[in-house]
A and B are shown apart, each in its own frame.
Chain A
Amino acid sequence: AQTVTQSQPEMSVQEAETVTLSCTYDTSENNYYLFWYKQPPSRQMILVIRQEAYKQQNATENRFSVNFQKAAKSFSLKISDSQLGDTAMYFCALMDSNYQLIWGAGTKLIIKP
């Protein structure tokens, strides 16, 4: 069975600091996609970043980047220069061959002023 594990239920950092959220997954497939979604207090689910497993280069989107270690099945999210608006739940998700998302339990990130 495919699984996604987020081992950090909650994290907090000071504004402008860098923070890394952890995600590990298990799959027997060779081609797949990994996602990080953000859910702010408004509760809308917002795509942060996407990684294709067959691409070795780590994805980046402005202040957000990932460290994708395929052999270790690790997919961590790094947020640089954190801002108050980054306060949210962050979910890691794996897309299986049927295009279904397997979700982690989430990490609550608090950015302190």
Chain B
Amino acid sequence: DGGITQSPKYLFRKEGQNVTLSCEQNLNHDAMYWYRQDPGQGLRLIYYSQIVNDFQKGDIAEGYSVSREKKESFPLTVTSAQKNPTAFYLCASSGDREAGETQYFGPGTRLLVL
């Protein structure tokens, strides 16, 4: 099956701890994205990558880091510098210019701070 997977579904972070959220896609898409969603809110862009080994900051990159060593994978690390990390995190990918670079989403990871 082609699609985007995110793991874990739920993640608990202790104070001062770094945690990493996984995002994998087998759609052969070049671009990948990370969004944060707070309760009752829309999506805010954290980081995006349009090609392997390159990524750009989005609107709320502070306290987060990413890597893009493989086309299929775009992990997000929530560092201890992110003081309010409790949120729902969505990963997306896109790769078809003729389809307007439509973004397709994974099922999300809910991060909670203990």
A residues near B, CB below 8 A? 33, 35, 37, 42-47, 50, 52, 91, 95, 99-101, 103-106
On whether the beta carbons of B45 and A100 are closer than 8 Å, the reply is yes
Measured CB to CB, the residues of B under 8 A from A are 31, 37, 41-43, 45, 48, 50, 88, 90, 92, 94, 99-108, 110
Nearest B residue to A108 by beta-carbon distance? B40
User: Contacts of B92 on A, CB cut-off 8 Å?
Assistant: 45
Provide the residues of chain A in CB contact with B110, threshold 8 Å.
43
- Classify the secondary structure of A's interface with B: strand
Asked whether, in the complex, the Cβ of A44 is within 8 Å of the Cβ of B107, the reply is yes
Given A43-B88, A43-B108, A44-B107, do A99 and B101 touch, yes or no (CB 8 Å)?
Answer: yes
Chain A min CB distance to B9 (Å): 10
Chain A residues with Cβ under 8 A from B99's Cβ? 50
The answer on a CB contact under 8 Å between A99 and B42 is: no
Q: What is the bound-complex CA distance between A56 and B9, given in angstroms?
A: 41
State which of A44, A99, A103 has its C-beta within 8 Å of the C-beta of B31.
A99
**Could you write out 20 A-B pairs with CB less than 8 Å apart?**
A33-B100, A37-B105, A43-B88, A43-B110, A44-B108, A45-B43, A45-B90, A45-B105, A45-B108, A47-B102, A50-B99, A50-B100, A95-B100, A99-B50, A100-B45, A101-B45, A103-B43, A104-B42, A105-B41, A106-B41
Distance (Å) between the CB of B32 and the closest chain A CB? 12
Give the nearest-CB partner of A53 in chain B.
Answer: B100
Residues of chain A contacted by B90 (CB below 8 angstroms)? 45
- Are B31 and A105 in contact (CB-based, < 8 A)? no
Q: In the complex, which residues of chain B have a beta carbon less than 8 angstroms from the beta carbon of A105?
A: 41-42
How far, in whole Å, are A100 and B35 apart by their CA atoms in the complex?
12
* A59 to B37 Cα, complex, angstroms: 28
